[in-house]
Chain A
Amino acid sequence: MSKLLHKPFKAFTIYALVILACSIPVYFWVIDFIWLNELDEHNRITKEQIANSFNNARIAESELNSLLSNWDKLQPGTTITESFLSVPKPDSTYTVLKQNKYVEDKAIDRFRVLSSYISINGKLYHLQIETNVEETDETILAIAVVTLLFFALLVIGFILLNKRIAKQIWRPFRKTLEKLKSFDLTTQQTVSFEKTDIEEFEELNQALQKLIDKNVSVYYQQKTFIENASHELQTPLAILKSKLDLLVQNKDITNEQAEIVNSIEIPISRVSRINKNLLLLAKIENSQFADKESIEVTELVNETLELLTDYAEAKEITINRALSEKLTVTCNKTLLEILINNLLVNAIVHNIKNGTIKADLSGSTLIISNTGKAILDTTKLFERFSASSSETASSGLGLAIVKEICNRYNWQIHYTFQEAKHNFQVTF
Chain B
Amino acid sequence: MTRVQRLSLALLAMAALGAAGMFLGPDGWFGLDIGPIGSAVLYGAVWLFVIHQAKFAGEVFPEHWSPAEKQSWVALVFMALITLHMVNMLLALPGLGADADQVRNPATRALWLNLGLLIFGWIVIGTQLRKQDGAGIQVDERDLRIQHRAGRVADGTMALFIVWIIVALFALPEQSRTWLRPLIVANALIALLIARTLIENIYTVWRYRRERA
Are A and B subunits of one complex?
no
